[in-house]
Chain A
């Protein structure tokens, strides 16, 4: 399987829980699929059909911390700006709040679109992940050939909750799967397992609902551990 492998690194990032807006904005510990989709579209410079995309990733960060930010909380207003005849449409106050920030993020993204290599080598918009101020950079962009192996390990990744195999490690979270930009960014949510620890396909903690797969897609460039390399779980967006 030929895939586009992209390595992104930055100083900070944050993936806000969508409905916690005030006082504290905690961060997911992995980028939600909706964020990955937005990132891809940012690199390409257009809204691409999410139904065509399959992606897998490995995401790590050094540590989690809290940063004090200020938000200009805005509300509609009327009248005119002081001393002018310009209409006033918004007004607001500065509110301090805490944001959870992931320090030194590193994303290895695998896309089923090797033809997008040129776009990621010359992205259309500034490379960010999470917030617009979290500038990042691609340290490697190239096409590789994944290989099929009878066993693999998995770590620092996201697994769909309804995946045919499950691991008894990690935390189950509900994340934004996709925002419908044609419909006022209406969100759809899905459940995923955030898996940071390493588990192998033959571990006791991996549960199979049905016969285990014969093979797993593996990154041949990944480090080897106990004779296995890193497996990839691909996600769809639609």
Chain B
């Protein structure tokens, strides 16, 4: 399992990119994208998914 970003909602602020403990988030072409192979859902690193917690727009970082 992994998380994904709904590109149409994203403000492209980049906060999730530098909070992600797994370095799974990158700006690709036009949008921020989560690499499903790298995303750990923050299981080891934190209590909550960091991208979800920092994202200013509700329902933008969601389970894939």
Same complex: no
